[in-house]
Structure 1
């Protein structure tokens, strides 16, 4: 990274801990420009009406197993992600605001607090919801206490595990898998 290049989003949010992350996480989150990664994913979805409605509003992936393609376009102040599963893209935009990683998924914008936590022989990035807005209106963050994402490395592969459940609704989605980032 050159002296004039902007600081990547994750390094901005985890300045003292970023270099403690496993190599695959650092590589994925420091690359500028457009990159495509391929891997495998398993997706479980909730079945209730409200679960399906929330999944539609946030464009969550469909249930199943198979290949995942992730396209990341990193600009100086934001990233655009497309997670393509079974030919359908879950698109989002990420940026930093007030110390949070903000992600717009469909009609909902999340503000995540990132932390580095030990996991196995290395460290992981853990995302926890700090604020939520749906159609611009704030929602109580406590509703999202059980929405947690974790990124880690195992067998020299970037791994992810995203679990989202809400009170009175139940499971929204649980998707996990790996990507080759080399």
Structure 2
């Protein structure tokens, strides 16, 4: 697979990419600008520290409702903008060696991607805030899972920190057509 012309997630996962369900593969192979719609349920942590961290990283507000995700993808990077509850949650993703990096507000996460039980699992490998590295062990409560159910792309994203507690947990689906 030529990394210069292959989609970002396919390069990172290699042959394991083909084991993902069709809606997950379709979302991650699409290049150019795409827009997907669906629904999302968002739970937020109650504490002040939780709210401050969520604000600094542009996490979505609590609630349930419609979701729109715009993804602008090239083989080298992707820009995701999630529109939830009237707010935009932008991030940029790129590859650094075998790690998927995601810049989300003031934080940059490095994730190891694995295919498990027909789903894509994201696990934190490293974190930087204001460019300063933080211990990855602080972020064992941060992760994501992408799967498919009833022909739809499904996502489940959670973030909690040892002192702050739950920051956010959002899950839902997107209508992703294999184009």
Offset of residue 76 of structure 1: 3.0
Q: Point out where structure 2 has 5 or more consecutive residues left out of the alignment.
A: none
Aligned length: 176
TM-score of the aligned structures, taking structure 1 as reference length = 0.94
State the secondary structure of the residue aligned to 1:11: helix
Aligned match of 1:131: 126
1:5-37 deviation digits (Å, cap 9, x = unpaired): 711111111102001110001100001000000
Aligned match of 1:94: 93
Counting only pairs closer than 5 Å after superposition, residues 7-156 of structure 1 correspond to structure 2 as 7-118=6-117, 123-156=118-151
Q: What is the rounded CA distance, in whole Å, between the counterparts of 2:31 and 2:4 in structure 1?
A: 9
Question: Runs of 4+ in structure 1 displaced over 6 angstroms?
Answer: none
1:99-157 deviation digits (Å, cap 9, x = unpaired): 10000001000000000000xxxx00000000000000011100000111000000000
Report the aligned-residue RMSD. Answer: 1.2
TM-score of the aligned structures, taking structure 2 as reference length = 0.96
